[in-house]
Amino acid sequence: MAGDCDGAAGRLSLRGLMTRVFFVVFLLSPALAFAAEKPLDKDAAAVGTCLSLVRENIKKADPARDEQPGPSGRLAAATEGARLDQTSCIGVVANACEREDGTSNGARIECAQREGRVWDERLNAAYRNAIARMEKEGADNLRQTQRAWIALRDARCRQAWATYHGSMAGPIQAWCEMELTARQAIWVETWIE
């Protein structure tokens, strides 16, 4: 019978099915890895150091710099502005990790998840701190914003699977979740400064 799992063909089919299920669960749930482990101290230190450097650069920045008009002027200003922008720190752990651990899909996923754990911890700490400090209206709005952001993050990052249906979707989704979590952490942290 075609539906039986008897014999070598059945075992192969069952093994193949289990492999596919594992593959889909493993690659479809990078966000779960954020909560599964505490970030490595060296990863948290790398992100923290990068953000500190940005804050130092902001203190030293020349407020009188003028952007020249046109595409070249915009790109020159953006290049200069990158050292003053906390989002420039996104990837500080993941990119270094990929250089060390390789560029297989599994390594890329793990590298993005490593950095993602740092940003997730920062986001959760900033959120708790902001909610505790805000008046009711501000806290209620932040809660609503956070719920909407989670839905947006999940939908945006699932797009890789909806588009590619393959193994490259895993690293793309993992990076997406890390990057959007980082941006949200940086944004929430502004409400407690």
Instruction: Say if CB 98 and CB 175 are below 8 A apart.
Output: no
65's tokens: 């710099």
Confidence (pLDDT) at 121: 96
Residue 31 lies in a domain: no
Residue 64 lies in a domain: no
52's tokens: 């500190």
DSSP, residue by residue, 167-180: TTHHHHHHHHHHHH
Residue 77 lies in a domain: yes
Residue 157 lies in a domain: yes
Range of the domain at 141: 39-58+69-190
Residue 135 lies in a domain: yes
The residue written with tokens 């070598």 in the block is: 8
Q: How far apart are the first and last CA of the chain?
A: 67
Task: Note the Cα 7 to chain centre separation in Å.
Answer: 44
Collapsing DSSP to helix, strand or coil, 16 comes out as helix
Give the pLDDT of the chain (193 residues) as one tens digit per residue. 344 444 444 444 444 434 343 334 444 444 444 556 898 888 888 898 889 888 888 888 876 677 888 898 888 888 888 888 999 999 999 999 988 877 899 999 999 999 999 999 999 999 999 999 999 999 999 999 999 999 999 999 999 999 988 888 999 999 999 999 999 999 999 998 7
The residue written with tokens 């793309």 in the block is: 172
Rg of the chain's alpha carbons, rounded to an integer?
A: 21
The residue written with tokens 């922008």 in the block is: 85
Confidence (pLDDT) at 63: 65
Residue 54 lies in a domain: yes
Report the C-alpha gap between 33 and 122 in whole angstroms.
15
Backbone φ/ψ region at 69: left (φ over 0), alpha (ψ -120 to 50), beta:
beta
Residue 82 lies in a domain: yes
Count of CB atoms within 10 A of residue 56's CB?
Answer: 11
> H helices of 67-168, where?
71-82, 92-101, 105-133, 136-164
What is the domain count for the chain?
Answer: 1
Residue 27 lies in a domain: no
Report the C-alpha gap between 83 and 77 in whole angstroms.
11
